[in-house]
A and B are shown apart, each in its own frame.
Chain A
Amino acid sequence: DGGITQSPKYLFRKEGQNVTLSCEQNLNHDAMYWYRQDPGQGLRLIYYSQIVNDFQKGDIAEGYSVSREKKESFPLTVTSAQKNPTAFYLCASSPLTALNTEAFFGQGTRLTVV
C-alpha cells in the first residue's frame, strides 16, 4: 500500500548530539514537508522540498537541516544548535499538480532530549 513511513517512532538524544529522522514515501509525490508539533501551537513548518536536490526553509528552520537526494526520501537532522528539540515531528507529502489534494502524513517521531 502507498503511504509515508517515518522512523523511528521514538528517539532519545543526548544534549550536543545530532540525530536524523527518516521519512520515506511511495506515493510519487513531488513535495515533502517537515512539521514540528508542540502542545498548544499546532504544526509549524520546518523545511519543505518541491523537487529533488532543492529545499526551502519554513518558519522555524534554525537548528535543523534536510536533504532531498531521492524523490522518495526527505530526512531531517536535528542538530545540536536546536536549543529545544523535544517535540513531535511529522513528515508529509503532497502532489504539486492536484491542487485540492490534501497532504498525507506519516505517523510521526517523538524526539526527547535526555
Chain B
Amino acid sequence: AQTVTQSQPEMSVQEAETVTLSCTYDTSENNYYLFWYKQPPSRQMILVIRQEAYKQQNATENRFSVNFQKAAKSFSLKISDSQLGDTAMYFCAFRTISSGSARQLTFGSGTQLTVLP
C-alpha cells in the first residue's frame, strides 16, 4: 500500500515571497504519478501540477514548480511570487499505475497555506 506524508499542517508566507511545501511518499512501485491539488475555501479540488515518475525533469506550471527526488521519495511544491489567491489547503497525492485499484489517488493530510498581505 502507498502512503503519502505531509509533515507541515500549516504554513504562512508573505505576499510576493516564495514558499516550499513538503511531501514524502512510500511505494514499492517504479512507475507512478504524483500530483499537487489545491483546495481553496470553496472546497473545490483544483489540480496544481503533476509529475510522472519516469520523467527526471521537474514539472513547472507558471509560478508553481516541483522538486521531485525519486530515490528519496520526495515531492515538494514551490510557489514563487505568492499571491493572496494562493491561500488554500494543499494536498499531495500519489497515483498508482496498477490497474487493480482503479488507479485511485492516495492523499496526504494536507498543508494549510496562508498568504499574508
Contact = CB atoms under 8 A, between A and B. Distances in A.
B109 A42 contact: yes
Given A42-B110, A88-B43, A99 B103 contact: yes
B45 interface: yes
Interface stretch (A18-26, A77-85, A89-97): A89-97
Report, as a range, how many residues of chain B touch the other chain.
20 to 34
B91 A31 contact: no
A17 interface: no
A53 interface: no
Nearest to B110: A42
Contacts of A56: 101-102
A105 interface: yes
Interface string A35-46: 100001111110
Interface residues of A, number: 26
A107 interface: yes
Secondary structure class of chain A's binding surface, majority of residues: strand
B107 interface: yes
A68 to B, nearest CB: 11
A19 B11 CA distance: 37
B39 to A, nearest CB: 9
A103 B9 contact: no
Contacts of A105: 44-45
24 contacts: A31-B102, A33-B102, A40-B110, A41-B109, A42-B107, A42-B108, A43-B91, A43-B105, A43-B107, A44-B107, A45-B104, A45-B106, A48-B102, A50-B102, A58-B104, A92-B105, A96-B103, A99-B33, A99-B95, A99-B103, A100-B33, A102-B35, A102-B47, A107-B43
Interface of A: 31, 33, 35, 40-45, 48-50, 56, 58, 88, 90, 92, 94, 96, 99-100, 102-103, 105, 107-108
Interface of B: 4, 6, 9, 33, 35, 37, 42-45, 47, 50, 52, 91, 95, 97, 99, 101-110
